Structure 1
C-alpha cells in the first residue's frame, strides 16, 4: 500500500510545527534534559558499582585475613553481600534508589538490605530522579500532546478540513499522516537518545555483551518506540474528535495527568490498603516467636535439643557429649541453623505473597493505563524492579545459609568436644579453611525470568496498540468535517 499522501501530510505537519518557536525551545529543553539524564545515570552507575566492588573486595580480604579461629566464631564474624547495578539501570533507575545494596550475612540471623541511596538523600528524592526512562515515559508523551492537540482540530476551526477531505484525502490518510508527522518530530529526540543509550551501554560493558543483555536492550528500545507511537495516535484521535483545539488540549492534558500521575499513585495506595503487609518489627517478632517455640539451640536445657542429645548418646552408646566422635556443639548449631532458616523462609514467602498481591493489582491496572505497563516492563528489563530486589535478598540468604553450614561442618569435623582448660589454647582450625567459602557474586535475572514476570505488561501494551488500530478504523468511518 502506497503511503505517498500520508508522507506528504506528515512533511507538511513537521514543517508547520517548527514555525512555532515555543516548540523549538521545548524540544531543545527536553533534548538537554535527556543529555543530563544520560550523564546522571552514567555517574550513578559507575559510582555505585565502583563502591560495591571496592567494599565487596575489602569484605572478602577481611574474611580471608582472619587468623586461626573457631569456625562458629567465623560464622558470627560474618560477611557482606553487595548488589551491583546492571547496564540498563543507567537509563531506568526504577526502584533502585530505594533499594538497599548491601546485606550483612551472619549465622542464625537474616538481615535486610541497607545503604540505599534514599537513606542518604534529602526529601527531593521522593519527587523522582531525572532518568532517560522518565523523560521517555512522562515528558515526551506530554510533548506529543502539545504537538498534536491542534493537528486536526485547528483544521476544523479554520475551515481547511472540509477542503482537504473534498480533494480526495480520506480520514484514514489524514489520521495516519498527522500521526507520522508527530512521530517524525519525536524521532528527532528519540533516535539521538537511542544512539547515546547504545554507545553508553556498550562502553559500560567494555564492548563485551551477552545475548541476554542484547535482547533486553532490544526490547527496551522497541517497547519505548511502540509506547511513544501510542501517544501519537491518541493525540491525533482526540484532536480529530474535538470541536476546537482548546477542547483537545484540555482533554489531552487530562489524559496525561490520569495516566502518569493520578492512576499510578492511586493504584499503589489501593493495593497497599487491600493487601496490608505486616510491619518490619512484626515480621521479625513473629519469626523469633516461632523459633523459640521450635527450640533455642544456645540453651542446653531446651527440650527439643535435649531430645536430640539423648538420642545421639543412645545411638553412639556413650554417656556424655564429650565422648561423641564429632563435635556436638557444631551438630546442634547445624540443626539450629536449618530450623531458623526454614522458619524465616516460610514467613518470607508469606510476606512475599502479600507484596505479590499488591503488585498484581498494579499490573492488572496496566490494562487501563499503558504508562504503568511500560514502567513495569522498563524496570523489569533494567533489573531495577521489586522482583530483582527480592531475588538479590534470596541469593544473599542462600549464600548466608551455605556459609553458616560450612562453618558448622568444619566445627563438627575438626573441633574437639573436650573444652580447653583455663591455660590451654582455644580450640581453632587453620585459617586456610576460610577460602573454602566462595565470594558472593550477585546474578541479575535473565531475560526469560523478566519476560515471565512482566508478561501482563507486554500483553497490555500489545492490546492497547491493537485497540488503537481498531479505533482508527472506526474513527475513519464516523468522523465528520464539521
Structure 2
C-alpha cells in the first residue's frame, strides 16, 4: 500500500472541497462559533469561579465572626459548601447548568445542592449551550458528513472511479486517501480549537500545571481526535457503498440523527421509565419517617433516648443527668446526628442505585453509539458529569456530619449539666473554638478514578476503532467500481 498514492488522493480531495463556496462559508461559520464558544466558556468559568470563591470566603468569615455561643446553636447556624469548577469545564459544561453548586450545611438535616443555572434561566437552556465540546461532538461530525458524502459516490457517478482503480490504485489506498483528505479539512478547525483550548486552560491555572489535570487534558484531546476520525471513516465507507451521492447523503444524515439526537434522548427516557426514581418530596418524607421511628433526639420523653438516659445513669451510678461528668444534651445530639446521618445515607444509596440503573442504559448504548461514549468521557474528564455531582454531595455531607459532631463534642466537653435559672446567662464557649472546624474544600476526582468509572466508554471506543479497521479491510476486498 503506497503512502504516496494516499497523500495524492488526500490532497486532491482537499483541493476539491475548497472549490466549493458553500463549504468555505460553513467552515468559516463553525470557526466563528468555536471562538464564541471559547470566549463564552472562559467568561462563564471566571464568573462562577469568582462567585464560588467570594461566597465561600464570606461564609467562612461569617462562621468565624460568630460571638461566644452554645455549640449546639452553632451547629444549627450552619455553613455553606461551594463547588468550584475545574479548568476543563470551560470547554464542556456537561450537566453543570442543571446541578446546583452550593449546599447549606446544618445539624440534623441534609440539604441538596441549589442555585443551578437552569433554575435562573429560561427554557432556551434546554436546547443546550454552545461549547467547544458540543461543536466537536455534534457540528463537526455533521460537517464531515457534508463534505464526505460524495467522496467516492461522486467518482462512481462520474465514471472516474474505474479510471482511478485501473491506474494501479487499490481500494484500500483510495479509502484511506479519502479519509485523510476529509481529516485534513477537519483538522483546519480542530487544531486551532485545541491550541485555543490549551492556551485558555493554562491561563486559567496561571501556567501552573498539575500532572492530573494535564493527563485529563491530553485524554480530552486524544479521545475527540479519535472520535472525529471515526466519522471521517464512516463518511467514506458509506459513500463507497452507495450507488449515488444522494443516497450516501441521506444515509449519513440518518446516522447523524440517530447518533446525536434519537439514541441519547431515547435511552435516557427509557431508563427513567423502567427504573422510576422517587420524587424529592417522597425521598425526604421517607427519611423523616424512618428517623421518627428510631426516635426524636429533641424529645426528652422519647422511648429510644430515654433508654439511653437510663443506661447512662446506671453506668455512672447517679440519679439525674445533671450529675453526669459530661453534658447529657450534647451526648444525645451526637447520638441523634449519628442515627439521622446513617438513615439518610441508606436512603441516598438506594436512590443512587436507581439512578445508576437508569444511567446503565446510556453506558450500554455507547457500544452502538460513539457519541454517547465521547460525551460521557468528555463530561467525566471535565468534572461536569453526574458522578462528579454525587461526589460533591458526598464530600459536603461528610463535612456537614463532622462539623455537627465537632459542635456536639464541644458541648459535651465544655457545657455544664447544671440547670439554669430564669435570667441566667446562657451557657457558651469561647468563639476561638469555631476555628476548630476546617474550611470546606471540594476535591475533584482524580484522572484514574475518572477512567475507572468510564471504563465502559473507553472499551466501546476501542471496539469501534477495531471494527472500523475491519470494515475498511472488508470494503477493500468486496467493493466494486460499478
Question: 2:200: which partner in 1?
Answer: 200
Q: Distance in 2 between matches of 1:97 and 1:35?
A: 21
Partner of 1:361: 361
Q: Does 1:55 align with 2:86?
A: no
Q: Secondary structure at the match of 2:104?
A: strand
For residues 291-312 of structure 1, the C-alpha deviation after alignment (integer angstroms, 9 at most, x for no partner) is: 0111100010101000000000
| Aligned-partner Cα distance in 2 for 1:209–1:296 | 50
1:326 is aligned to 2:337: no
Q: 1: CA distance between counterparts of 2:423 and 2:42?
A: 58
Please state if 1:116 is matched with 2:116.
Answer: yes
Partner of 2:439: 439
Partner of 2:189: 189
Partner of 1:223: 223
Which residue in 1 is equivalent to 2:264? Answer: 264
In structure 2, distance between residues paired with 1:138 and 1:321: 67
Q: Which residue does the alignment assign to 1:177? A: 177
Deviations 1:98-136 (A, max 9, x none): 010000000000000000011111110000000000000
Partner of 2:146 in structure 1? 146
What displacement does 1:281 show?
0.6
Partner SS, residue 104 of structure 1 = strand
Q: TM-score, normalised by structure 1?
A: 1.00
Q: How far, CA to CA, are the matches of 2:419 and 2:127 in structure 1?
A: 59
1:374 paired to 2:381: no
Which whole-Å deviations, capped at 9, do the CAs of 1:402-433 have from their partners, x for residues lacking one? 00000000000000011222221110000000
Q: Which runs of 5+ in 2 are unaligned?
A: none
RMSD: 0.6
1:16-415 aligned at under 5 Å gives the runs: 16-415=16-415
Distance 2:103 2:36 in 1: 31
Q: Give the secondary structure class of the aligned counterpart of 1:84.
A: coil
Q: For 1:262-297, what per-residue CA distance to the aligned partner results, in whole angstroms no more than 9, with x for missing partners?
A: 000000000101111111111101100100111100
1:137 is paired with a residue whose SS is: helix
- What is the CA–CA distance in structure 2 between the aligned matches of 1:2 and 1:382, rounded to whole Å? 40
User: What displacement does 1:9 show?
Assistant: 0.2
Aligned to 2:480: 480
Structure 1: where are the runs of 5+ without partners?
Answer: none
Q: Distance in 2 between matches of 1:118 and 1:270?
A: 23
8 Å contact 2:327–2:415 — kept in the other structure?
yes
How many residue pairs match? The answer is 482
User: In the alignment, which residue of structure 1 is the partner of 2:449?
Assistant: 449
Q: Structure 1 residue 184: deviation in Å?
A: 0.1
SS at 1:92 equivalent: coil
Alpha-carbon separation, structure 2, partners of 1:335 and 1:295? 10
- Corresponding residue SS for 1:228: helix
Normalising by the residue count of structure 2, what TM-score does the alignment of the two structures yield? 1.00
